[in-house]
Chain A
Amino acid sequence: MPRRTTIHAWLMLTPALVLLFGFTHYPAVATLWHSLFTTPRGGRPARFVGIENYAYLFEDPVFIQALWNNAIYAFATIPLSIAIALAMALWVNGRIAGRTALRMAYFTPTVLPMIAVANLWLFFYTPDYGLLDQATALLFGWGPTNWIGSRETALGAMIAVAVWKEAGFFMIFYLAALQAIPPSLYEAAAIEGASRARVFWRVTLPLLGPTTLFILVNAVINAFRLVDHIIVMTRGGPDNATALLLTYIYELGFRFWDTASASALTMILLALLAATAAFQFLVLERRTHYR
């Protein structure tokens, strides 16, 4: 390649790379560095403490709770949103009555801001007056329930909002994949006399493999960063029942201004995300050839 072109190439790359390194790579490394120091407070400069911040974190019951909550949040939202998305895609891809309206209904949460969504759901969950309590009173004769105010139901309520928000978004990817499956495969299956269930398990599902893996990675990332509604609806409460890693980072960093602990916690979150990336790179890239 001629020299002049290489210079051109670098000139064209530089602006994007500067911003990218400045706000992704540098902060990731700086987080590691700052997590090894104390928080500078009122004239006292930061002091090197090694892994002390991490040690404190693992003795902090709120952190343990947030880690645990985040695990539940992930293991509930990931399979639920993917399964519902798949069902929705199959429905609106097939011959169902009112499929245009249905597709719109499913997709609407994707374009609504999470904050607006949080307000609407707050509404839903209001004890006694809220729609959910009115519905459960009518259907099952239940009394008023403080859905987001009690420890037992709060995390579940947050999970429901997240699944509701995500499923329609993931449906779109399944829909695209379903429409790319050649009809000849279904015709062949029909000639063989395969039942609908059999066609689904033996033809459709295997062909959706790459899409499922793509959605899975997105769902895992979202399990760590989809927290806007929690910050607005419960602020991690009641009694830390809905605290997740990112809400706790926000709490530590911008409520208590304990940036050292927040940095250590960020490192743990980065490690989890890096593990997801490694999984994608090592497992998914090997198995899927959809480039």
Chain B
Amino acid sequence: MRATAIASAGTPQLAAPRLDVWRWIETAAAWLFGLVWIAPLLYAVWAAIHPTGYATSFALFAPLTLENFVTAWNAAPFARYFLNTFVLVTMILAAQFVLCTLAAFVFARAGFRGANVLFALVLVQLMITPDVLLVENYRSMSTLGLVDTIVAIGLPYMASAFGIFLLRQTFKQVPLELEEAARVEGCGTMAILLRVYVPLARPTYLAYGLVSVSFHWNNFLWPLVITNSVETRPLTVGLAVFATLDQGIDWAIISAATLMTSAPLLVGFLLFQRQFVQSFMRAGIK
């Protein structure tokens, strides 16, 4: 800290040295927030890797164990829940990529009459998200005979206004000359989309993919409403069912189950931290 302060004393951005006390206070505050923000996770790790008795008392040399994970894994059909979530997330992402790419391409390039009105109607979904329309969407799903299926969890999210918006912005930045060159080479509309636009939008797909996967991995309310069996429940609903079943609240086992269900995203986040953060940034900048 001190070294950096001295090293950068010559740069114009740095405030006068008399503000050093302020900087120390700020650093302390930043770390305090960091501690509070990470504490629940650390606490869960602590509880999960020690025997039940140590969940609420801290001893530095408490014995370590993986027993809690085994118990949690066997106490509920987590393997099935993992499979369901995996199928759900993959299905939604694939459908979103296809549907949003096609729609975004039209909105970016084809200036037919009424396109602006249609696009405005698409954007309505940014405000009125499917989770607010639970009651009516449930009614539609039962009319379609889809209640308690994985498809029903995904359907309302597949045509994503956010995805269409994001890809449209990216497609608009593709130089028209590239498209014309491809047309001269004899490419049809689909070939132009697949060979020119999609490859150039790869960073946007990555960004949108990460945001979409983490959103649907974590989504809860709609899956809770529309599913009612082990065969369709995603992890979040399975975890909620597991944690509320009155089997005597054993924090160690609940922590283990909680960590297990968030592990894939957490590990992914730790490995691809930079991409994750940049993806969320990219997704947020209009």
Q: Which residues of B contact A92 (CB under 8 A)?
A: 30
Q: Assess whether B139 is in contact with A259, with CB atoms less than 8 Å apart.
A: yes
Known contacts A113-B220, A183-B13, A187-B12; is-contact A176 B40 (Cβ 8 Å): no
Among B61-69, B120-128, B174-182, B196-204, the stretch in contact with A: B120-128
Q: Assess whether B136 is in contact with A270, with CB atoms less than 8 Å apart.
A: no
Contact residues, B125-149 vs A (CB, 8 A) = 125, 127-140
Q: How far is the CB of A223 from chain B (nearest CB, A)?
A: 12
Interface string of B2-18 (1 = CB under 8 A from A): 00110010001101100
Interface string of A3-19 (1 = CB under 8 A from B): 00110110011011111
Q: How far is the CB of A31 from chain B (nearest CB, A)?
A: 5
Q: Assess whether B40 is in contact with A121, with CB atoms less than 8 Å apart.
A: yes
- The verdict on A119 contacting chain B, using a C-beta distance below 8 Å, is yes
Contact residues, A123-149 vs B (CB, 8 A) = 123-124, 126, 129-131, 134
Q: Which residues of B contact A253 (CB under 8 A)?
A: 134-135, 138, 225
- The verdict on A115 contacting chain B, using a C-beta distance below 8 Å, is yes
> How far is B140's CA from A276's CA once the two chains are assembled, in angstroms?
27
Q: Which residues of A contact B105 (CB under 8 A)?
A: 12
Q: Which residues of A contact B220 (CB under 8 A)?
A: 113-115, 228, 231
Q: Assess whether B110 is in contact with A5, with CB atoms less than 8 Å apart.
A: yes
Known contacts A13-B118, A106-B34; is-contact A270 B128 (Cβ 8 Å): yes
Q: Assess whether B217 is in contact with A113, with CB atoms less than 8 Å apart.
A: yes
Residue of B98, B189, B217, B281 near A8 (CB, 8 A) is B189
Q: Assess whether B132 is in contact with A273, with CB atoms less than 8 Å apart.
A: yes
- The verdict on A207 contacting chain B, using a C-beta distance below 8 Å, is no
Q: Assess whether B159 is in contact with A227, with CB atoms less than 8 Å apart.
A: no
> How far is B125's CA from A270's CA once the two chains are assembled, in angstroms?
12
Residue of B1, B37, B240 near A106 (CB, 8 A) is B37
Q: Assess whether A1 is in contact with B110, with CB atoms less than 8 Å apart.
A: yes
> How far is B130's CA from A262's CA once the two chains are assembled, in angstroms?
15
Contact residues, B205-260 vs A (CB, 8 A) = 214, 217-218, 220-221, 224-225, 235-237, 239-240, 243-244, 251, 254-255, 258-259
Contact residues, B8-44 vs A (CB, 8 A) = 8, 12-13, 15-16, 19, 22, 26-27, 29-31, 33-41, 43-44
> How far is B44's CA from A117's CA once the two chains are assembled, in angstroms?
10
Q: Which residues of A contact B98 (CB under 8 A)?
A: 15
Measured as residues with beta carbon below 8 angstroms from the partner, the interface class of chain B is 35 or more
Known contacts A5-B110, A120-B41; is-contact A111 B138 (Cβ 8 Å): no
Q: Assess whether A112 is in contact with B135, with CB atoms less than 8 Å apart.
A: no
> How far is B254's CA from A17's CA once the two chains are assembled, in angstroms?
42
- The verdict on B83 contacting chain A, using a C-beta distance below 8 Å, is no
Q: How far is the CB of B188 from chain A (nearest CB, A)?
A: 9
Q: Which residues of B contact A270 (CB under 8 A)?
A: 128, 132
Q: Which residues of B contact A119 (CB under 8 A)?
A: 44, 239, 243, 254-255, 258
> How far is B286's CA from A176's CA once the two chains are assembled, in angstroms?
12
Q: Which residues of B contact A105 (CB under 8 A)?
A: 34-35, 37-38
Q: How far is the CB of A215 from chain B (nearest CB, A)?
A: 8
Known contacts A9-B106, A16-B164, A246-B132; is-contact A91 B26 (Cβ 8 Å): yes
Known contacts A1-B110, A8-B189, A120-B44; is-contact A176 B285 (Cβ 8 Å): yes
Contact residues, A202-246 vs B (CB, 8 A) = 214, 221, 224-225, 227-228, 231-232, 246
> How far is B286's CA from A24's CA once the two chains are assembled, in angstroms?
23
> How far is B19's CA from A195's CA once the two chains are assembled, in angstroms?
10
Q: Which residues of A contact B102 (CB under 8 A)?
A: 12-13, 15-16
Contact residues, A99-114 vs B (CB, 8 A) = 101-114
Q: How far is the CB of B33 from chain A (nearest CB, A)?
A: 7
Q: Which residues of A contact B259 (CB under 8 A)?
A: 116
Residue of A88, A117, A214, A262 near B135 (CB, 8 A) is A262
Interface string of A167-179 (1 = CB under 8 A from B): 1110011011000
Q: Assess whether A263 is in contact with B136, with CB atoms less than 8 Å apart.
A: yes
- The verdict on B191 contacting chain A, using a C-beta distance below 8 Å, is no
- The verdict on A28 contacting chain B, using a C-beta distance below 8 Å, is yes
Q: Which residues of B contact A134 (CB under 8 A)?
A: 56
Q: Assess whether B103 is in contact with A12, with CB atoms less than 8 Å apart.
A: yes
Q: Which residues of B contact A124 (CB under 8 A)?
A: 39-40, 43
Q: Assess whether A13 is in contact with B106, with CB atoms less than 8 Å apart.
A: yes
Known contacts A115-B240, A190-B13; is-contact A123 B251 (Cβ 8 Å): yes
Known contacts A111-B266, A172-B281; is-contact A106 B33 (Cβ 8 Å): yes
Apart from the given pairs A19-B99, A28-B133, A87-B29, 11 other A-B contacts in the complex at a CB distance below 8 Å: A5-B110, A12-B102, A19-B156, A111-B269, A113-B217, A124-B43, A126-B56, A173-B285, A176-B285, A186-B12, A225-B129
5 chain-A/chain-B pairs, Cβ below 8 angstroms = A24-B128, A84-B33, A105-B34, A231-B221, A246-B131
Interface residues of A (CB under 8 A from B): 1, 5-6, 8-9, 12-13, 15-28, 30-31, 34, 84, 87-88, 91-92, 95-98, 101-117, 119-121, 123-124, 126, 129-131, 134, 164, 167-169, 172-173, 175-176, 183, 186-187, 190-191, 195-196, 214, 221, 224-225, 227-228, 231-232, 246, 249-250, 253-254, 259, 262-263, 266, 269-270, 273-274, 276-277, 290-291
